[in-house]
């Protein structure tokens, strides 16, 4: 049998009762060796656990999972024993499909929109058993990165295209706005669509919508602006024409958040005199760093919310809107301060009708995350909160 390729890709694992797989001394009980030239994959078993792998020469190949799920979503069934030969589990029609078609997501609407599904895991929820704002932001970021990878544009950078990698350029987010209609619960499946468009001469806009997979209700909308930075000098750069030509075929003139509903107003700067709450001594951890060697932008949300928002607000209100303006990057060696100032309750304004149509917030806060040493701003933020339904009933 020919030697196996240097890389393999685990596609699915099937656990069976031990008496169905009698292997001595942990040796392979079944090994069907198939390689790319023969348009097949490999099924192996060890200690009662079966694994399906594709060969790794060139583009990874995909195989449907056996009686399994992709990220918790059931995708197909197969019979390992009985009248079927094991090799029949691997269908030629599946082998030609890109790996991301079942594992990551897929393109819709003529490859302009990238769509991916996720299950809300137990470690992604808060005390009320619903997804947190950090969870939503992480899912948006994951979908965006998979969009770039699946498009065939990815270079060797974190979300960078090939032409960007050649020039040592990376994408950095400057502003993001997210509106949450409803938070998913533990075990719910969500479907995320993302697409990109130009933002001025030297920026790119990326939008997302999150749907409840079962009902197809849109429960979250988000929009963001990105610019290019040199990975080594850490200075912003114009978009090179070669990069522009790479991403131009993927531009879609569509917005997730309507212009009149987008929070585009400037966020006021907080000072020691205007901030109602200040927490100092916040230290980034090594695990807070991302592949671009700075603190992941989602990490800032935890510092903003957990460190300076009153605990009763976190428990009694839902965070329904958040806008972040990123001013500078942060490294592990920096100590930070989190500052928050409350705005008067908008719902108490007699001229405003707070109902399900206009969804006026009950509370609004302005936030600032800054360096503790020189007070340099890292990110400004604005949040809107609605009283949770269970509290409105009392």
- Whether 142 shows a pLDDT value over 70: the answer reads yes
Q: What is the mean pLDDT of residues 227-245?
A: 94
Q: What is the mean pLDDT of residues 377-387?
A: 96
Query: How far apart (Å, rounded) are the C-alpha atoms in residues 153 and 139?
Result: 20
User: What's the pLDDT at 360?
Assistant: 84
Estimate to the nearest angstrom the gap between the alpha carbon of 305 and the chain centroid.
19
Q: How large is the greatest C-alpha to C-alpha distance in the chain, in angstroms?
A: 80
Q: What is the mean pLDDT of residues 54-68?
A: 39
Query: How far apart (Å, rounded) are the C-alpha atoms in residues 73 and 213?
Result: 10
User: Is 165 strand, coil or helix?
Assistant: helix
Q: What is the mean pLDDT of residues 379-392?
A: 88
Asked whether the beta carbons of 41 and 90 are under 8 A apart, the reply is: yes
- Stated pTM of the model: 0.72
User: What's the pLDDT at 391?
Assistant: 57
Q: Which domains does the chain have, with CATH numbers?
A: 8-86 (no CATH), 104-262 (3.10.129.10), 265-394 (3.10.129.10)
- Whether 51 shows a pLDDT value over 60: the answer reads no
Other beta carbons less than 10 A from residue 245's beta carbon? 10
Asked whether the beta carbons of 330 and 196 are under 8 A apart, the reply is: no
Please tell me the least confidently modeled range out of 88-97, 162-171, 278-287, 345-354. Answer: 88-97
- Whether 384 shows a pLDDT value over 70: the answer reads yes
| CA atoms lying within 13 Å on the CB side of residue 226 | 21
User: What's the pLDDT at 77?
Assistant: 38
Residue closest to 118 by CA, chosen among 188, 221, 67: 188
Who wins on pLDDT, 189 or 103?
Answer: 189
Catalytic residues: 292, 294, 330
53 φ, ψ (degrees, to nearest 5): -130, 150
Query: How far apart (Å, rounded) are the C-alpha atoms in residues 370 and 114?
Result: 35
What are 67-98's pLDDT values in tens digits? 344 443 444 433 333 443 333 333 333 434 44
DSSP for 257-283, please give it. S-GGGS--SPPPPP-TTT-SEEEEEE-
């Amino acid at each position: 049998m020919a030697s196996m390729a240097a890389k393999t890709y685990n596609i699915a694992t099937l656990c069976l009762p031990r008496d169905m797989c009698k292997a001595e001394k942990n040796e392979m009980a079944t090994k069907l060796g198939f390689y790319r030239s023969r348009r097949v994959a490999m099924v192996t078993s060890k200690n009662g656990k079966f694994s399906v792998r594709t060969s790794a020469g060139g583009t990874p190949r995909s195989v449907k999972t056996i009686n399994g799920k992709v990220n918790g979503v059931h995708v197909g069934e197969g019979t390992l024993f009985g009248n079927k030969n094991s090799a029949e589990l691997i269908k030629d029609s599946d082998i030609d499909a890109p790996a991301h078609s079942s594992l990551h997501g897929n393109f819709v609407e003529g490859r302009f929109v990238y769509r991916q599904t996720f299950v809300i895991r137990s470690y992604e929820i808060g005390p009320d058993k619903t997804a947190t704002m950090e969870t939503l932001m992480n899912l948006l970021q994951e979908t965006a990165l998979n969009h770039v990878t699946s498009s065939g544009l990815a270079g060797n950078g974190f979300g960078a295209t090939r032409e960007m990698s050649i020039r040592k350029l990376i994408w950095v987010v400057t502003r993001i706005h997210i509106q949450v209609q409803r938070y998913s619960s533990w075990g719910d499946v969500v479907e995320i669509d993302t697409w990109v468009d130009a933002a001025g001469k030297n920026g790119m806009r990326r939008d997302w919508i999150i749907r409840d997979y079962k009902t197809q209700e849109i429960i979250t909308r988000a929009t963001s602006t990105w610019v290019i930075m040199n990975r080594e000098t850490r200075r912003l750069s114009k978009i090179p024409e070669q990069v522009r030509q790479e991403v131009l075929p993927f531009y879609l003139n569509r917005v997730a958040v309507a212009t009149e509903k987008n929070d585009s107003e400037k966020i006021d700067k907080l000072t020691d005199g205007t901030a109602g709450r200040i927490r100092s001594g916040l230290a980034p951890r090594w695990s807070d760093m991302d592949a671009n060697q700075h603190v992941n932008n989602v990490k800032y949300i935890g510092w903003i919310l957990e460190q300076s928002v009153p605990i009763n607000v976190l428990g009694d209100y839902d965070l329904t809107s958040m806008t972040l303006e990123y001013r500078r990057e942060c490294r592990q060696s920096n100590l930070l301060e989190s500052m928050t100032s409350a705005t008067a309750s908008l719902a108490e304004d007699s001229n405003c009708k707070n109902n399900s149509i206009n969804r006026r917030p009950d509370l609004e806060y302005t936030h600032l995350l800054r360096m503790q040493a020189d007070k340099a701003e890292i990110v400004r933020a604005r949040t809107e909160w609605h009283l949770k339904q269970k509290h409105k009933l009392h």
